[in-house]
Amino acid sequence: MRLSKWIGGALASCALLPGLAAAQTRPDQKAFFDLYKQLVETNTSLSVGSCTQASAQIAERLKAAGYKDADITLFSVPEHPKDGGIVAILPGTDKALKPMLLLGHLDVVEAKREDWTRDPFKLIEEDGFLYGRGTVDDKAMSAVWADTLIRLKKTPPKRTIKMALTCGEETTAAFNGAEWLAQNRPDLIAAEFVLNEGGGGRLDENGKRELLAVQVGEKAAQNYTFLATNPGGHSSQPTPENAIYELADALKAVEGYEFPVHLTDTTRAFFAATAQKVGGQLGAAITRLLADPNDKAADAIVSQDKALHSTLRTSCVATLLKAGHAENALPQRATANINCRIFPGETVEETLAKLKELAGPKITVTANQPVRPTAIPPKLDPKIIGPMKTLAAKHFPGVPLVPMMSTGATDGIFFQAIGMPVYGAPGIFIEKDMSGIHGLNERIRVTSLYDGRDYLYDLVKAYAY
C-alpha cells in the first residue's frame, strides 16, 4: 500500500503544487502515460483480473525498448495462472556494486462498478485528477519503475537495476509473487537494497505539499482465530456455558489490553520530528515518552491519536464474528478473527502467547495461515536516505522529509526476511483522505503523478549512475 499512514499532528504546509499546464508537455511523458493508462485499465483484481496479462504487456514494452528475452523473466505457477509477475534486469557495468531492486505490485483491491461514480477500470481525467482503481495503489509506482527501465536502457548504469512487479499483495490468502520469488528465486531478485511502495507524500485539503515520507520498516500483519465451543442445547433452558458469552469475554479482554510501547531508530526519529512540529501538550508528551517508554501518562496523551497509538506498539483488533446455528438453540460454536499488526522485532508466536493468555482456557486461539515473517526494520542508512533528501530539496523545496514506520504491511517483508533492506520511496503525493486507496473513486492528481515520476527517476539514477 501507499504512504504509510497519515501519522499524527499537522506538520507545516509548504510549497504550492504547480499548475496543470506543466503536465505532459514532454514526449517522454506521453510514452509514460500510455503505459500507465494501459496498466490501470488492465483489470488485475483477484476475482476476475489477470496480473499475468499486465506482466506480459509490460514485457512487450520492455522488448520494444531493446530488452532481450534473457533480461526478462515472466513467472507464474500452474495453480494460479492469472497471478503471474515479471522480473526485468538492466545490467550494470561495475560488478563491484551490488544490484538495487525496484519492487511494485500489479494486483488491486476489488472495485464494483455499481459503487463507483466512474468505471473503475477506465482511466478518466476530471478537474486535474486521474480516477481509476490502482491509479495510486500500486500502479503509479509500478508504471514509474517500468518506465524508468525503458528510459535508462540506452545508457548502461554502473549498478545493476532489477525490477520485480508481482501479484498477491492485496489479498492475504492469494498466491503472492513476492513471497514466491523470495523463497524460490532469491538469486534472481538479490539486491543490496529495495525501493518499494509505502512512502510518498501528503497534501493538505488545498493541495499544498505538507511532507514527504520514506518508509523505513513496517509491521507484520497476522490474523488469529478465537474459537469457543459448547454442547449447545434448547434456548428455552439456557446454561452458564454459552459459546457467544465466552467469546465475548475473551474479546473484551483483547479490547482492554495495551501492548507495551516499543521504539525503533525510525520511530524515534519520526516522533522527535513530530514533537518539534506540533509542540504544546502533545509535543511535550512525545518528548517524555521518548525519554521513558513506560511513562503511562505520556502514552495516554500521545495515544489519543489513533495513528500515533499504532506506531508505538503492536495492535490487535476483532474484525470478523460468526456464532450460533439456529435462533432457538444455544450456540455450539462461536468464532472471531483477530487482526494483529505486529511491531518490528516481535514474533507471531509471542503475540499468539499473549492472545492465549488474554482469551483464557475456554478459548482456543490459533494463528491463521499464511504466517507472515517477523518484521525486520532496516537501518536509517545515510547512503539510502541521503540521496532522497538531496533530490527532495531539488524537486520539492521546503517540504520536510520524515522517516516513518508503516502501521500497515507491504510485500517488502518477504525481502527483509532474506536479508534485503526495503525502503518505501517518497515522491508521489496523495490526498489527505488517502486518495480513495482501497475505497471508492481512487484518484491521483495529474501533477502528482508526473512530478513523482520525475523524482523517482532521478532517485534511481542517483543510486545507479
Three-state SS for 315-358 is: EEEEEEEEECCCCCEECCEEEEEEEEEECCCCCHHHHHHHHHHH
Yes or no: say if 358 and 336 are a contact pair by the CB < 8 Å rule.
no
Q: What is the pLDDT of residues 225-284, one digit of tens each?
A: 999 999 999 999 999 999 999 999 999 999 999 999 999 999 999 999 999 989 999 999
Q: Nearest 5°: phi and psi at 123?
A: -80, 115
Beta bridge partners of 195: 102, 423
Answer yes or no: is pLDDT of 96 > 90: yes
Strands 193-196 and 422-424: parallel
Note the pLDDT of residue 24. Answer: 66
Contacts with 63 (C-beta within 8 Å, 6 or more apart), sequence order: 69, 72
Residues 211, 219 contacting (CB under 8 angstroms): no
Q: How far apart are CA 448 and CA 191, in angstroms?
A: 29
pLDDT band at 408 (very low <50, low <70, confident <90, very high): confident
Nearest one of 432, 431, 447 to 395, comparing CA atoms: 447
pTM of model > 0.95 = no
CA distance 228 to 365: 9
Four-CA torsion 15, 19, 20, 22, nearest 10 degrees: -90
Residue-wise pLDDT tens digits, 210-222 = 999 999 999 999 9
Average pLDDT, the chain: 94
| Whether the Cβ atoms of residue 441 and residue 111 lie closer than 8 Å to each other | no
Whether the Cβ atoms of residue 348 and residue 368 lie closer than 8 Å to each other: no
Q: Do the beta carbons of residue 7 and residue 308 sit within 8 Å?
A: yes
Are 274 and 286 contacting, i.e. CB atoms less than 8 angstroms apart? yes
Residues 6+ apart with CB under 8 A from 15: 208, 209, 396, 397, 398, 399
pLDDT at 18 over 90: no
Domains and CATH numbers, the chain: 20-218+375-464 (3.40.630.10), 220-259+314-372 (3.30.70.360), 261-313 (no CATH)
> Alpha-carbon distance 164 to 420, whole Å?
14
pLDDT at residue 17 is higher than 80 = no
- Rounded CA separation 108/432 (Å): 21
> What whole-number distance in Å separates Cα of residue 373 and Cα of residue 380?
21
Evaluate if residue 10 carries a pLDDT over 90.
no
What is the distance between the alpha carbons of residues 42 and 37, in angstroms, rounded to a whole number? Answer: 9
pLDDT grade, residue 25 (50/70/90)? confident
Is residue 204 within 8 A of residue 396, CB to CB? The reply is: no
4 in Cβ contact with 199 (< 8 Å): yes
Higher pLDDT, 39 or 172: 39
Q: Which three cell numbers stand for residue 225?
A: 482465530
Per DSSP (E only), the strands in 183-240 are 193-196, 200-203, 209-218, 220-229, 233-234
pLDDT > 90 in the chain, percent: 92
Evaluate the omega torsion of the peptide bond into residue 204 and state whether it is cis, within 30 degrees of 0. Answer: no
List the one residue out of 41, 64, 63 whose CA is nearest residue 53: 41
Give the tens place of pLDDT for each residue, 156-197: 999 999 999 999 999 988 999 999 999 999 999 999 999 999
Buried-state track 257-287, b at ≥16 Cβ within 10 A, e below 16: eebebebbebbebbbebbbebbeeebbebbe
DSSP string spanning 27-50?
A: HHHHHHHHHHHHHHTS--BTTT--
Render pLDDT for 363-406 as a digit per residue (tens, 0 to 9).
999 999 999 899 998 999 999 999 999 999 999 999 999 999 99
Contact indicator for 85, 51 with CB cutoff of 8 Å: yes
Can you read off the three cell numbers belonging to residue 374?
A: 517477523
